[in-house]
Structure 1
């Protein structure tokens, strides 16, 4: 007999959506896969359709991941071209630290967790707890992404502090700024 999987995938998620969200499945939009649905005999059978779908999702995620990593590497190369004065070295180190942090934030908070959620079910590992925490992290990402600049780049941090600090006058702002880089003639 035929070992073809049963094509009615929504039946696998209907009860879970009803109990978790108190909604009917036809009222939702979702991405889901059943990698080993039962065939007509009740035996688990790998669904190539779901496997190919996850490969496409991973491929789509690799595009921005590649852009983040490539941009990070090229930015480090550009930072290394900064002037070699003390001011330049200090600014270079601050920007380098901020760049590393801004590269790691999306990798650790978006790419790796979402890849895990798509791949863990393939190995029949339950990732329900991961998906709940991921939505929280995903919502916080726009808030967390600019923080490395604030924490690592001193001039930016001082400028923001001066804007929000009422007791600092115009004279104070000028004295707190770092000296400009040395200009050399050619």
Structure 2
């Protein structure tokens, strides 16, 4: 009511209440909320662990097949891997960290500023744009297109073949 001028009895919301005082003023610990907190952090930890394991395995696989790739394929794979690394870091900093912080601070009776408590909602809307921007600016062909840089196409042909082609086009 103080911060948003809303009656919590009329608004749907989800919150964890780790401690509360009963009618006699005794502090009561809500263990079910701690279980929910642990479960939520477990989900986030499993997502982060999966990203780290898959990233490491991808890095190892790319290193093992490097000798069989052309220079252009190596460069493209390097760009794509860097893009994936940054695209993995974005949700860690925009979703996992703010939500984890918002769930953890009340355990220590730290009051959260209302602006910060709205951060996960803000980042949820910002994340798709950041994800696309990373791909656009990390992959050279995308970046060159967006920045209107001309592409240099180099093709090498034998002089007899190209001379024959040119003469047939001019005479035809």
1:110: Cα distance to partner? Answer: 0.8
Task: Find 1:108's aligned residue among 93, 97, 108.
Answer: 93
Partner of 1:73: 56
CA distance in 1, matches of 2:154, 2:84: 20
Alignment map for 1:20-169 (pairs within 5 Å): 20-80=3-63, 81-82=65-66, 83-128=68-113, 129-158=115-144, 160-161=145-146
CA distance in 1, matches of 2:154, 2:107: 54
TM-score, normalised relative to structure 1:
0.67
CA distance in 1, matches of 2:109, 2:121: 21
1:115: Cα distance to partner? Answer: 0.8
CA distance in 2, matches of 1:44, 1:87: 65
Q: Name segments (4+ residues, structure 1) moved above 4 Å.
A: none
CA distance in 1, matches of 2:8, 2:28: 24
CA distance in 2, matches of 1:23, 1:45: 26
Larger Rg over CA atoms = 2
- Residue 28 of structure 1 aligns to a residue whose secondary structure is coil
How many residues matched? 152
RMSD: 2.7
Distance of aligned partners of 1:152 and 1:178 in 2 relative to their CA distance in 1, 3 Å threshold: farther
TM-score, normalised relative to structure 2:
0.72
In structure 2, runs of 5+ residues without a counterpart are: 156-172
1:141: Cα distance to partner? Answer: 0.7
In structure 1, runs of 5+ residues without a counterpart are: 1-17, 180-186
Task: Find 1:176's aligned residue among 133, 152, 155.
Answer: 152
CA distance in 1, matches of 2:2, 2:54: 43
